Structure 1
Amino acid sequence: MSLVGYNFGKILRSTRVFKGLTETQLAEGICTEEDIIQFEKEEKYPTIDQLSKMASKLEVEFNHFFDIASTDTYNYAIGVTELIKKYKRERDYAAINEIIQKEQDNPLFKHTSFNQFLVWHQGICSYYLEGDRQKSIDLLSKALDMTHKEEAAMTEREIEILTSMAIIEKDSGNLDKAVELFHEALNQLTELPQVQDSKIWLRILYGLAQALSKLERYEESLIYSSKGIDNCIYEENMYLFGELYYQTGMNYIKLGKENKGKEYLEKAVTIFKLQKNDKFASLVRDEMEKLLKYC
């Protein structure tokens, strides 16, 4: 059986990255790391036995590599997931929900990876569009259970789903549960030999800092918001940079260090203006006035 013409290398790499596995992790017990690199470059192809074992480790059906590629729809599925990610960054949950309703009966999205992605984001939409926390948590748990085995270390994708659960708990006011889940996600993330998307660190650190502030645990919150700022600087990443400066400034003000807090809030405003996010810059200025008014 030939894999030539099936875009096999691209599918293998995308699925591996989707699952949060390194070349070394995927290769273990199957072949060498160099083999995986060559498979993904289509410099050579795996045997049937190797392909079967890779499908098992990636938790996809054996025909995942053929059904998608042979119908030339794999790029379509990736395009849909990227569009959902874009709308999530913009907090446009109505647009995400519209896509989910359109695609949930598409046979392409019955494959485990894509189906999990849809259920995960359906869970997010359930909370932000319907305000239904329990339905949201149930859907996120369902998405997590599609791939995660009890006691096993989590993949990067699974940690992202767990982080979404923590964020929902935070936003619905279950702060102690949120802190517990954020800590679990953080611990799981530190166990990964390599993180494909560094933004996940920032989502966890920012969410944890927010939850701790709401619990009036400002010193603890400051630890994580400061770590987030350091991570942004180290990675040269502007994602959540302004929000983390805002959170840090708020913590300092709550701790009675008004001047230092104001300094961080003003930096947050500057960052949001550089990002051309005038709405957030204005919100921070308004919040700064409220916070300092009663100090």
Structure 2
Amino acid sequence: MILFEKEKKFPTLEQLDQLTERLNLDLTYFFEMASKNKQNYFVAVQELINKYKRERNYKAIYEIVYREEENPSFQHTSLKQFLLWHKGICIYYLENNTDKAMKFLYQAIELTNSKRKDFSEREIEILNSIGLILYENKDFQNAKITLNSALASLEKLPNIVDDRVVLKVLFSLSQVLSELGSFEESLQYSKKGISHCINKELLYLFAEFHYQTGENYIKLEEIEKGKNYIEESIKILKLQGNEIFAQIFQEELEKLLSRC
């Protein structure tokens, strides 16, 4: 705490969560303090939204978006785009309103790319969100078109800042192709995802790519190979301490094998 007070070190969001519990304060208290330094505040808000997104806490995200979209400091194009993007995601999951969600997601893209071509890294992330919503609505053909567009734009970028963007698109596309029955093509993307994780030394979606690969092999009637990949995905999740998803993957494996 002394280091924090002397500004030699800054707390992580997880540490802030713990502090707010102990001090019986709302997390926004710390962001109000941080607002004295606008750049730190913008980063803190975006990190908090990303944290809640990983936890699928869309209600908490929407509360932040609702508060900040009226903040004059968030009218800068990049910041406004970030809020619109997450507003669309929240509306989809909280209101189950696909059309309204899509409206906000496309508005977010059009803030920086009115022609909707040659997408930037941020725009590709938003496209991936659109593709996932189409996937969840079982509109697999349009999801495939959207995600192929995202992947094509990724391949044109001279430099990728966040390699997780590549993994997100590869995984989404692999899921969609599997639903379309294109198991061989889906395998190409899930295996490419595994290779990318290894080359970039990332665990992000590593277990999920193994599961997707295994599911494809099982559906191609290569049962033992598929089973091995899914069992590997369960081991990875357990090593990460993610017992809940490990159990879910185990149950899904049993369902897949029961249909063989």
TM-score range, shorter chain: 0.7 to 0.9
Aligned partners of 2:110 and 2:116 also within 8 Å: no
Length-normalised TM-score, structure 1: 0.74
Deviates more, 1:135-144 or 1:71-80: 71-80
Aligned counterpart in structure 2 of residue 218 of structure 1, from 163, 174, 183: 183
After superposition, the Cα gap between the structure-2 partners of 1:172 and 1:234, relative to the gap in structure 1 and judged at 3 Å, is same
Distance 1:101 1:149 in 2: 25
Length-normalised TM-score, structure 2: 0.84
Distance 1:92 1:72 in 2: 27
Aligned partners of 2:85 and 2:105 also within 8 Å: yes
How do 1:229-248 residues align onto structure 2 when only pairs under 5 Å count? 229-248=194-213
Q: Which has the larger radius of gyration?
A: 1
Aligned counterpart in structure 2 of residue 252 of structure 1, from 217, 240, 254: 217
Distance 1:190 1:162 in 2: 15
Q: Does residue 184 of structure 1 match 2:168?
A: no
Q: Write the letter of the residue equivalent to 1:167.
A: L
Distance 1:293 1:245 in 2: 20
Aligned partners of 2:91 and 2:97 also within 8 Å: yes
Structure 1: gaps (5+ residues): 1-69
Structure 2: gaps (5+ residues): 1-34
Aligned counterpart in structure 2 of residue 198 of structure 1, from 163, 187, 194: 163
Return the offset for 1:197: 0.2
Specify the alignment match of 1:130 in structure 2.
95
Return the offset for 1:149: 3.8
Distance 1:151 1:87 in 2: 28
Cα deviations by residue, 1:172-223 (Å, 9 ceiling, x for unpaired): 1111000001100000001000000000111000000101111111111111
Specify the alignment match of 1:11 in structure 2.
none
Distance 1:275 1:245 in 2: 14
Specify the alignment match of 1:113 in structure 2.
78
Deviates more, 1:93-102 or 1:149-158: 149-158
Give the structure, 1 or 2, with the largest relative contact order (CA under 8 Å, sep 6 or more).
1
Q: Does residue 166 of structure 1 match 2:134?
A: no
- Runs of 4+ aligned residues of structure 1 deviating over 2 Å after TM superposition are none
Aligned partners of 2:74 and 2:80 also within 8 Å: yes
Aligned partners of 2:174 and 2:212 also within 8 Å: yes
Q: Does residue 263 of structure 1 match 2:218?
A: no
Return the offset for 1:121: 0.4
Q: Write the letter of the residue equivalent to 1:127.
A: Y
Cα deviations by residue, 1:48-78 (Å, 9 ceiling, x for unpaired): xxxxxxxxxxxxxxxxxxxxxx963221111
Distance 1:149 1:192 in 2: 18
Specify the alignment match of 2:174 in structure 1.
209
How do 1:18-57 residues align onto structure 2 when only pairs under 5 Å count? none
Q: Does residue 74 of structure 1 match 2:64?
A: no
Q: Does residue 150 of structure 1 match 2:115?
A: yes
Return the offset for 1:294: 2.1
Q: Write the letter of the residue equivalent to 1:253.
A: I
Return the offset for 1:89: 1.6
Distance 1:270 1:150 in 2: 45
Provide the alpha-carbon RMSD of the alignment: 1.3
Cα deviations by residue, 1:120-148 (Å, 9 ceiling, x for unpaired): 00001111111111111110000000011
Percentage of identical aligned residues: 47
Aligned counterpart in structure 2 of residue 83 of structure 1, from 40, 48, 57: 48
